[in-house]
Amino acid sequence: MYLSRLRLNPRHKQARTDLSSPYQLHATLCWAFAEPDQTPPRFLWRLEEGEIPTVLVQSAVRPNWERLAQRFPGYFAEASEPKPIPLEHLQPGQVLRFRLRANPTVTRKDPQNPDKRKRHGLKKVEEQLEWLHRQGQKGGFAVLGAMVAQSARVRMHKHTEGPPIVLQSVLYEGHLKITDLERFKETLAAGIGHAKALGFGLLSIARG
């Protein structure tokens, strides 16, 4: 896997457009993975807030950011090269720091139509943390301690017309312990939860 840290130029017109729309930002990032007539491979990304907007991108294949820079000259505040993610140091029982922006949800029956089930964003901190623990049980890790650093309902439009899509955005930070190494590696590669194309699900880890 590869990890890229992209610093965007907030004065660039396309960058400003992308920063206001997760759909558009994902579409722009796809230029580094495939031609317009090709289907890009799946990748994970997360927008990090700061004085200079930074986008983390994790992918199974090496992206070509130069191709994106050629299409949008001045888009990046500085050049970026993808770096391989070392996984050989990971061990069962290892404790790591983590950071995750996710869309925690639960599926419930629709009271208006009992034959259908609808996905609902979890708003309470206790429910959000319980969701994270469940993801760990399925994903090969145990949450040792975690906090909700941010929690907000975000609205976004896929098209200029039509109703907005509303998602619960939660930023988790804390420590985890690897309980099943192979499953944990699969979780790192696949991401956690829903709405991955919209900037959710990238699990970042660092030595504790």
Pair (137, 191) in one structural domain: yes
Number of domains in the chain: 2
Task: Give the tens place of pLDDT for each residue, 109-125.
Answer: 766 676 677 788 899 99
Pair (72, 118) in one structural domain: no
Pair (54, 99) in one structural domain: no
* Domain ranges, residue 45: 2-84
Pair (115, 71) in one structural domain: no
Q: Give backbone dihedrals phi and psi of 62, rounded to 5 degrees, phi first.
A: -75, 120
69: its two tokens: 């820079």
Pair (62, 160) in one structural domain: no
Pair (191, 124) in one structural domain: yes
Pair (29, 120) in one structural domain: no
Pair (24, 119) in one structural domain: no
Q: What is the largest CA-CA distance in the chain?
A: 53
17: its two tokens: 């457009």
Indicate yes or no: pTM above 0.85.
Answer: yes
List the beta bridge partners of residue 97: 175, 206
On whether residue 89 sits in a domain, the answer given is no
List the beta bridge partners of residue 98: 174, 205
Task: Give the tens place of pLDDT for each residue, 31-47.
Answer: 999 877 778 899 999 99
